[in-house]
Amino acid sequence: MMKDKKVLVFGMARSGIAAAKLLLLRGARVWVCDAKAEADFDGALDDLKAAGATLCLGEQHPENLLEGMDAMVISPGIPVEHPAVVRAKALGVEVMGEVEYAYREATGLLLAITGTNGKTTTTTLLGEIFKNAGRRTFVVGNIGTPYSGAVPQMKPGDVTVCEISSFMMETSSQFHPSVCAVLNISEDHLNRHGTMEKYVALKERIFENCAGDDCVVLNWDDPVTRGMAERVKCRVAWFSSRNPVPFGAFVQNGTLVYGTPEDNKPVCAPEEIYIPGEHNLKNALAATAMAMAAGIPAPVIRHTLRSFKGVEHRIEFVREIDGVRFINDSKGTNVDSTIQAVRAMNRPTVLILGGYDKHTDFTPLCEEILKCPISRIVLIGETANQIEKTLEKVGYHAWTHAGYEFKRAVEMAFEQANPGGNVLLSPSCASFDMFKDYEERGRIFKDIVNGMEGARA
């Protein structure tokens, strides 16, 4: 598809590097562009350079590189309003995201998952189900492993489970999973998309090419996702933790089942699911519906739900010191995700909260905190003052500031926690004001905790 084509890859994070490598493997003539200088990549681009890619680094105006290009592949972090994207479209240069390009080169069965929360857990769980079914499976996308990086190893009959973000759907056109899911919708990324209407429309693009025997899995309990069914052009399977559904995965008479209320297959009891909480029951229901729609037997799903231990950075127990349990929920990057985390706390908890500003309303979270055992809050980062004002507005006053000193924030939280309690990192914000990504934030939190000594003065 890309042999001998001139392609500019814009944005050299993990997905951009993977896309450039795949393009070179497919015989394209590749230029790679990023605002960072070559020295900032610490050798990460050496293989591309050796394979013949032209490096255009430290480039502040990539729109000047577009003359004569056949295509431009952009990383998810590049908005479609960027001058280079606008210029490319004006010149008739095809613009596609890394996921769109990878899809065009991939083979095998594709399942895709989007939504505001629960994507990574559900994607990882679904991948484990397919692996336990004996299928060669790649788990890729927004989860941290670029889709492009897996494509060279793919063979017919393989399975790809792809986590999809709204950013990735800005540049999709041919992307077409056989089974996909929209887990839920709540306010997020309005700093990028501007309105909830646009955000929802981008989420719906995951199923815009689905038709015929394809299957779209939707959350019956979420009014936004429930309304999406009107725009689906193939079969729909629902999931619900609260009600029977016309067809899909739900709980009936104390058993997770798949089918209709009158005719269904039992999978397991909800209490058999290893990962706790209602939000994880929903994730398990969604994964069950997707796996069953793809023909995976119920016993394989049952075994996986009983044994799957969750994902890193999502309500992850780290260590107990002097009777205080430290919990890493760095993946709590929005209000709804942190609401799920604080609801899961059953002991007095000091919460570390704050980070990069995504233009979010924190009122629902602050109101939820009043109902949960949150004994104190340590505020960090760019949104600290905004969260403080919202906490004060709802009548919660037990907060302190740690500024941008993350280690000090963890230490303060420990000092303010009591034996028998928790310290929970669930920032409700992205990490970009202080860290490269939520994974780095979570790893540093665990490093700090694992380096602490007990016997507090």
Binned at pLDDT 50, 70 and 90, residue 60 comes out as confident
- Specify the pLDDT at position 187: 66
CA distance 227 to 245: 14
- Pick from 140-149, 233-242, 262-271: least confident: 140-149
Name the average pLDDT for the chain.
95
- Specify the pLDDT at position 358: 86
- Specify the pLDDT at position 359: 87
pLDDT at 362 over 80: yes
Among residues 21, 119, 313, 446, the one annotated as catalytic is: 119
Average pLDDT on 182-190 reads 81
Cα 175–179–183 angle (5° rounding)?
95
Among residues 117, 132, 184, 189, the one annotated as catalytic is: 189
CA distance 101 to 7: 11
Give the tens place of pLDDT for each residue, 102-122.
999 999 999 999 999 899 999
Average pLDDT on 368-385 reads 97
Average pLDDT on 13-38 reads 96
* Residue 304, SS3 per DSSP: helix
Give the tens place of pLDDT for each residue, 315-357.
999 999 999 999 999 999 999 899 989 998 999 999 999 999 8
Binned at pLDDT 50, 70 and 90, residue 457 comes out as very low
- Specify the pLDDT at position 188: 67
- Specify the pLDDT at position 161: 98
Is 303 catalytic? The answer is no
CATH numbers and ranges of domains, the chain: 6-97 (3.40.50.720), 106-307 (3.40.1190.10), 316-450 (3.90.190.20)
Average pLDDT on 249-268 reads 97
Which residue carries 């969604």 as its tokens?
Answer: 286
Strands (E), 194-233: 212-219
Structure tokens given for 197 = 């209407």
Binned at pLDDT 50, 70 and 90, residue 186 comes out as confident
Is 233 catalytic? The answer is no
CA distance 27 to 29: 7
Q: What DSSP designation does 12 have?
A: -
Is 279 catalytic? The answer is no
Among residues 117, 132, 142, 422, the one annotated as catalytic is: 142
Contacts 24+ apart (CB under 8 A), 382-389: 382/354, 382/355, 382/356, 382/357, 382/429, 382/433, 383/354, 383/355, 383/356, 383/357, 383/429, 384/354, 386/357, 386/362, 387/353, 387/354, 387/362, 387/428
CA distance 109 to 290: 12
Q: Is the pTM of this model over 0.85?
A: no
- Specify the pLDDT at position 1: 81
pLDDT at 279 over 50: yes
Give the tens place of pLDDT for each residue, 72-96.
999 998 999 999 999 999 999 999 9
- Specify the pLDDT at position 115: 95
Q: What is the DSSP string of 52-102?
A: TPEEEES-S-GGGG-TT-SEEEE-TTS-TTSHHHHHHHHHT-EEEEHHHHH
Q: What is the DSSP string of 323-389?
A: TEEEEE-TT--SHHHHHHHHHT--S-EEEEE--B------HHHHHHHTTTTEEEEEEESTTHHHHHH
Q: Which of 374, 353, 387 is nearest to 417 (CA)?
A: 374
Give the tens place of pLDDT for each residue, 196-227.
899 999 999 999 999 999 999 999 999 999 99
Distance between terminal CA atoms of the chain?
A: 66
- Specify the pLDDT at position 129: 98
- 410, 312 Cβ separation under 8 angstroms: no
How many percent of the chain have pLDDT more than 70?
A: 98
Average pLDDT on 257-266 reads 98
